[in-house]
Structure 1
């Protein structure tokens, strides 16, 4: 059977290996700070355990106090890693397990008694496990099942460490060889560690898979969904609309004269306009809307709405904001406008290609009528929404008003939106 020193060295080797692997992963993705924190935790634990095994060969202060303080600091790093995994900042209380060791050793009876030092270490370790379990109870990462598994493992380890601390304090052994339950506790600790590592590995793998999926579904420049992402979200929007007997609206956006912006100000300025437009759309759309870039300067949004009225309100808010909000880039002020085409269908009849075809027809009409306009497809007719700015009211205003009045008979709640 392995003696305690050999077991410690084996565990330190495994922990050190994990630390190196996690460090390599972090070096390839430095924004993922949880990898660094977990790596530092395993490195600290391995270092502390190695120093303990050199008891009698190095100064006692190092092999006892520095070693155990270093090993316990691992819980602070792991706690910070869990917080970073949940996209939250570390807690200052993460140092509590190490500080418990320091505070306990201020008492001479603890500092000079092997059994009490072991009990103190286990109390500090139990505190670390319980703190990590508590942090996970309020976390939002991964699935509820995986979070509950971590909580269960860490609560169990915390309780076992507290029980071990009590047993050691009562039996008062003079060294590790006299601790009769050390093997059982060691096995339980290893099982707990392996279990928590396995669950965390699954969480990180799922997280990486989700990130790869999002990369496949999003536009790298703007962060908006790409066409494939829009198609994936369409079913969700349609099902939600169907449950409440609402309609699915598709809004198609095209930035006016975008090629001229690129030619006059440069492609980086054009990218800035695209990014600014995306931010404006996201800030003005309902939280349950789906927004994406379908290609070039073209964007689209899916909404579940009660009527055309709701979709037009969103579109007009975006159109006015874009027109009134110039983009500053490289000392230049770039003005842009957007043309918008809208169509709606009842959820039961909604088809993405059909919606896109109708919205494109409306967009073509908005472009043909002078750009910086919103047009809607209702039935087989495409009608332009009058702009609220005097400059946009041209000689065809009377015809537009008449058309909008006809639209009011087709879609509900129009009288508050369309005014002649």
Structure 2
């Protein structure tokens, strides 16, 4: 027995309500991933939109139709906003308002003036466009989780295509004035695709959230909370078991007289100094290097495929940039210096522990020779 149109609408409403509640509960548990809240609001708007549209299907009053249109536009605008926020981490408020306003402006007036067929064509076109834009956002951010995001993109595009078919069916039949809700093969197909799409996208969205939560926990375990650099654990996980050859270098840094900064200006000021130094390390060393804070005022940079002149240049630039930096502390500015030691792996390969030990020895040579300098291990 084939389900009728109202049964399919009811299925969409129920699945949408359950998904909206699940997404909202997922967001409520941590209140971190705001894209889940936007997604929940979007689906939450689709549910009453379906209810209002079912009333319009039985009682085709243009005022009911206008309300159904606007609720759908609002829902799909929030769904797009969720995708934008997922990819960028930025608020999509303006984009949501713009998409809702444009969609309403190009569709609803046709219902008011009696050309409801054109209104439904524009409804389907605008929703398809919103879904394509949503798919594009997830496609651009697919590097974070390629498989679930690619699956979501496919489902969004299939759903968008079903709305395009609805518009095409009305255009092909030259149905500019209907006097009722559209009822054809494309509409029935669209409802089936929407049910599958809501279920599939919802499941993938929840899986994606868990993926991101797990990734955040992994990053937190491997990141120094103050500076955002690698911590000691992450550094040794990355290099601890490697055999270090002659073209890999470690540069050990230690801030000079850092204890006096804490004693004189307070630990908050010391934290500012550490963050400034970490920023300089990131700017000078780039993404190719492994940059870590070992603890306190001790930092290490590991350079791959490098020569002594290059390592010396990096260490000297970090030292000089930090010495020249005026660091605002309250109403005053202070300057600090740093000492560094450079060590390379051996011809017959050196353990990572030995490499760091040699870099430390070179560092303390710099300390003994007056600080604010760079030394190369013998």
Q: Tell whether the 8 Å contact from 1:104 to 1:111 is kept in structure 2 after alignment.
A: no
Q: Tell whether the 8 Å contact from 2:60 to 2:181 is kept in structure 1 after alignment.
A: no
What is the CA-CA distance between 1:295 and the residue it aligns to?
A: 0.9
1:255 aligns with 2:258: no
Alignment of 1:15-414 (within 5 A): 15-27=16-28, 32-55=33-56, 60-87=61-88, 90=92, 92=95, 95-96=98-99, 99-107=102-110, 112=114, 117-168=119-170, 170=173, 179=184, 182-234=187-239, 247-345=247-345, 349-378=349-378
Residue number in structure 2 paired with 1:402: none
Q: Equivalent residue of 1:353, what SS?
A: helix
CA distance in 2: counterparts of 1:346 and 1:176, whole angstroms:
78
What is the CA-CA distance between 1:3 and the residue it aligns to?
A: 5.0
Q: For the structure 1 residues 287 and 105, does the alpha-carbon distance in structure 2 shift closer, same or farther, using more than 3 Å as the test?
A: closer
Structure 2 gaps, min length 5? none
Q: For the structure 1 residues 153 and 97, does the alpha-carbon distance in structure 2 shift closer, same or farther, using more than 3 Å as the test?
A: farther
What is the CA-CA distance between 1:119 and the residue it aligns to?
A: 4.2
CA distance in 2: counterparts of 1:367 and 1:62, whole angstroms:
80
Q: Tell whether the 8 Å contact from 2:110 to 2:119 is kept in structure 1 after alignment.
A: no
Q: Tell whether the 8 Å contact from 1:247 to 1:347 is kept in structure 2 after alignment.
A: no
Q: Equivalent residue of 1:106, what SS?
A: helix
Residue correspondences, number: 372
Q: TM-score, normalised by structure 1?
A: 0.77
Higher relative contact order (CA 8 A, sep 6+): 2
What is the CA-CA distance between 1:6 and the residue it aligns to?
A: 5.0
Q: For the structure 1 residues 96 and 262, does the alpha-carbon distance in structure 2 shift closer, same or farther, using more than 3 Å as the test?
A: closer
Q: Equivalent residue of 2:377, what SS?
A: strand
Q: Tell whether the 8 Å contact from 2:78 to 2:96 is kept in structure 1 after alignment.
A: no
Q: Equivalent residue of 1:252, what SS?
A: strand
Residue number in structure 2 paired with 1:11: 12
Listed one character per residue, the Cα deviations across residues 279-330 of structure 1 (whole Å, up to 9, x for unaligned) are 1111111331111110111111111143122111111111122222132112
CA distance in 2: counterparts of 1:150 and 1:280, whole angstroms:
39
Q: Which moved more, 1:191-200 or 1:224-233?
A: 191-200
CA distance in 2: counterparts of 1:177 and 1:167, whole angstroms:
10
What is the CA-CA distance between 1:273 and the residue it aligns to?
A: 1.0
CA distance in 2: counterparts of 1:6 and 1:98, whole angstroms:
31
Q: Tell whether the 8 Å contact from 2:250 to 2:303 is kept in structure 1 after alignment.
A: yes
Q: Tell whether the 8 Å contact from 1:82 to 1:132 is kept in structure 2 after alignment.
A: yes
